[in-house]
Structure 1
Amino acid sequence: MTHLFDDAALSGVLGHMNGDHGDDNLLISRAFAADAGVAEVDITAATMTGFDGDQGVWEATLADDSTVEIAVSWPTGPITERREVRREIVALYDEACRRLGVEPRPHA
């Protein structure tokens, strides 16, 4: 059964990702675009819209102003704790950099 995070965890993580990591949202969305049947070059913006114990979810805006949902499974498998979300998003960021040939920045 998929773990559902409470509203405080959702708003905290989403607020942080969308307020401080907009470029990472775009990078992750572009890297995993093919999984959603979209060409990475068509994505012009992205917002993280949700997550649960199985995956993170982004809404990607395309060049024609339409949107598509991109859901990406957590790299290490299902999670149940808020502190695990950061680890998984960092792993998605690192994988996105690898897929797109981008040098990842150091993690604090």
Structure 2
Amino acid sequence: MSHTFDADVVAAVLRHMNGDHADDNLLIARAFAAASGSPIVDSVMTGFDGGAGTWRLTHADATAEELRVPWPGGAISERAAVRREIVALYDAACARLGVAPRPHA
């Protein structure tokens, strides 16, 4: 069973990702979602646990789906590891899509 983070930690990460990194959410979705006929036009991070992050995707044809992407470094249980793994997903998404990643602070 994957580690479950405290609700306040989850809420803070989701607020940050959906408020400050909406473009990153979309990039991750486009890189890791199964190919379909309708392009992904929106992606919102809806949760995460020790095993993966979860996003709600919306396609151009108005269909929606859930995407669960395992953390690249494996299972996590510490708050600080969440940022590290999301950054790793972003970098992997850039590599898959041939996009130059921006520098990380």
- CA distance 1:55–1:45, change in 2 (3 Å): same
- Residue matched to 2:58: 61
Runs of 4+ in 1 over 6 A off after TM superposition: none
TM-score (norm 1): 0.93
Segments of 5+ residues of structure 1 without an aligned counterpart are none
Whether contact under 8 Å (1:14, 1:48) holds in the other structure is yes
Task: State whether structure 2 residue 26 is matched by structure 1 residue 29.
Answer: no
Q: Over aligned residue pairs, what C-alpha RMSD do you find? A: 1.2
CA distance in 1, matches of 2:32, 2:38: 12
Q: Which amino acid aligns with 1:10?
A: V
Distance in 2 (CA, whole Å) between partners of 1:6 and 1:40 is 37
Q: Larger % of helix: which?
A: 1
Q: Using the aligned pairs only, state the percent identity.
A: 61
DSSP-derived class of the 1:85 partner? helix
Residue equivalent to 2:7: 7
Question: Which SS does the other structure have where 2:86 is aligned?
Answer: helix
Match of 1:86 in 2: 83
CA distance in 2, matches of 1:2, 1:33: 21
Supply the AA of the counterpart residue of 2:91: D
Letter in 1 for 2:2: T
Confirm or deny that 1:100 pairs with 2:87.
no
CA distance in 1, matches of 2:15, 2:73: 23
